[in-house]
Amino acid sequence: MSPKTLYDKIWDAHVAHEADDGTCLLYIDRHLVHEVTSAQAFEGLRLAGRTVHAPDKTIAVPDHNVPTTLDRADPATMTPESRIQVEALDTNAKEFGVHYYPVSDVRQGIVHIVGPEQGWTLPGMTVVCGDSHTATHGAFGALAHGIGTSEVEHVLATQTLIQKKSKNMKVEITGKLKPGVTAKDITLAVIGETGTGGGTGYVIEYCGEAIRDLSMEGRMTVCNMAIEGGARAGLIAPDETTYAYVNGRPHAPKGAQFEAALAWWKTLFTDEDAHFDKVVTLKGEDIQPVVTWGTSPEDVLPITGVVPHPDDFEGGKVDAAKRSIEYMGLVPGQKLTDIEIDTVFIGSCTNGRIEDLRAVAEVVKGKKIKDGMRAMIVPGSGLVRAQAEEEGLAEIFEAAGFEWRMAGCSMCLAMNPDQLSEGERCAATSNRNFEGRQGYKGRTHLVSPGMAAAAALTGKLTDVRELV
Partner 1 sequence: MDKFETFTGIAAPMPLVNIDTDMIIPKVFLKSIARTGFGKNLFDEMRFNRDGTEIEDFVLNKPQYRSSQILIAGDNFGCGSSREHAPWALEDFGIKVIVSTSFADIFFSNCFKNGMLPIVLPQEQVDILMKDAERGENARMTVDLEAQEITTSDGDVISFDVDAFKKHCLLNGLDDIGLTLEKADSIKTFEEQASQARPWV
Looking only at residues 285 through 324 of this chain, which bind partner 1 when binding is defined by CB under 8 A?
296, 298, 315-317, 319-320, 323
Q: Phi first, then psi: what are they for 426, rounded to 5°?
A: -125, 135
Tell me which stretch binds partner 1 (CB under 8 A): 147-155, 348-356, 442-450, 455-463.
Answer: 147-155
Rounded Cα distance between 67 and 65, Å, is 6
Among 174, 200, 337, 458, binds partner 1 (CB under 8 A): 200
- 404-423: which residues touch partner 1 (CB under 8 A)? 413-415
Comparing CB distances to partner 1, the nearer of 165 and 370 is 165
Query: Which residues inside 334-353 make contact with partner 1, applying CB under 8 A?
Result: none
CB of 213 to partner 1, least distance (A): 28
Residue 337 contacts residue 462 (beta carbons within 8 Å): yes
* C-beta pairs of 85-88 under 8 Å, 24+ apart in sequence: 85/35, 85/36, 85/39, 86/35, 86/62, 88/35, 88/39, 88/42
CB-nearer residue toward partner 1: 45 or 139: 45
Whole-angstrom CA distances from 287 to 171, 173, 182, 275, 375 are 14, 9, 9, 27, 27
In one-letter notation, the amino acid at residue 318 is V
Contact residue for partner 1 among 107, 157, 215, 362 (CB under 8 A): 157
Indicate the residue among 142 and 400 with the shorter CB distance to partner 1.
142
Residues 90-119 that bind partner 1 (CB under 8 A): none
Contact assessment for residue 31 and residue 48, using Cβ atoms and an 8 Å cutoff: no
If we measure between CA atoms, which residue out of 298, 32, 14 comes closest to residue 145? 32
* Residue 329 three-state SS: coil
20-49: contacts with partner 1 (CB under 8 A) = 21, 23, 25, 27, 29, 36-37, 39-40, 43, 48
Q: Would you say 154 or 425 has its CB closer to partner 1?
A: 154
Contact between 435 and partner 1 (CB under 8 A)? yes
- Interacting positions 117-136 with partner 1 (CB under 8 A): 122, 124-125, 130-132
* Cα–Cα dist 402/30, whole Å: 36
- Residues in 69-88 at the binding interface with partner 1, rule: CB under 8 A: 79, 81-82, 84-85, 88
Considering only CA atoms, which of 227, 58, 219 is closest in space to residue 131?
227
Which of these ranges, 14-22, 215-223, 271-279, 455-463, lies near partner 1 under the rule CB under 8 A?
Answer: 14-22
Nearer to partner 1, 324 or 343 (CB): 324
Q: What is the total count of residues that contact partner 1 (CB under 8 A)?
A: 79
By C-beta, is 21 or 371 nearer to partner 1? 21
Question: Is the Cβ of residue 164 or residue 176 nearer to partner 1 in the bound state?
Answer: 164
Pick between residue 363 and residue 414 the one whose CB is nearest to partner 1.
414
H helix or E strand, kind and range, residue 92: helix 80-96
Q: Does 444 bind partner 1 (CB under 8 A)?
A: no
Binding segment (CB under 8 A) for partner 1, from list 2-10, 95-103, 140-148, 179-187: 140-148
Binder among 149, 247, 334, 458 for partner 1 (CB under 8 A): 149
Pick from 3, 19, 267, 329: which binds partner 1 (CB under 8 A)? Answer: 19
C-beta of 112 vs 385, nearer to partner 1: 112
Q: Is the dihedral of CA 213, 217, 222, 226 positive or negative?
A: positive
| Contact call for residues 280 and 190 (beta carbons, < 8 A) | yes
Task: Please tell me the distance from the alpha carbon of residue 81 to that of residue 221, in angstroms, as a whole number.
Answer: 31
Task: Report yes or no: 292 and 445 within 8 Å, Cβ to Cβ.
Answer: yes
Q: Which of 281, 77, 51, 292 is nearest to 156 (CA)?
A: 51
Minimum distance, C-beta of residue 363 to partner 1, in the bound complex (Å): 29
Q: Is 272 exposed, middle or buried (0-12, 13-18, 19+ CB in 10 A)?
A: exposed
Residue 372 binding partner 1, by CB under 8 A = no
Distance CA 196, CA 181 (A): 22
DSSP-assigned beta bridge partners for residue 85: none
Q: How far is the CB of 238 from partner 1 (least distance, A)?
A: 14
Name which of 105 and 440 has its Cβ closer to partner 1: 440
Query: Which of the residues 167 through 196 are near partner 1 (CB under 8 A)?
Result: 195-196
Site pattern 248..267 for partner 1 (x: CB under 8 A): -----x---xx-xx--x---
Alpha-carbon dihedral 62, 65, 66, 71, rounded to 10 degrees: -160
CA dihedral 308, 309, 310, 314 (to 10 degrees): -70
Please say which residue, 317 or 460, places its beta carbon nearer to partner 1: 317
| Rounded least distance, CB 135 to partner 1, Å | 10
DSSP strand pairing (15-18 vs 24-27): antiparallel
Considering the complex, state which of residue 320 and residue 386 has its C-beta at the smaller distance from partner 1: 320
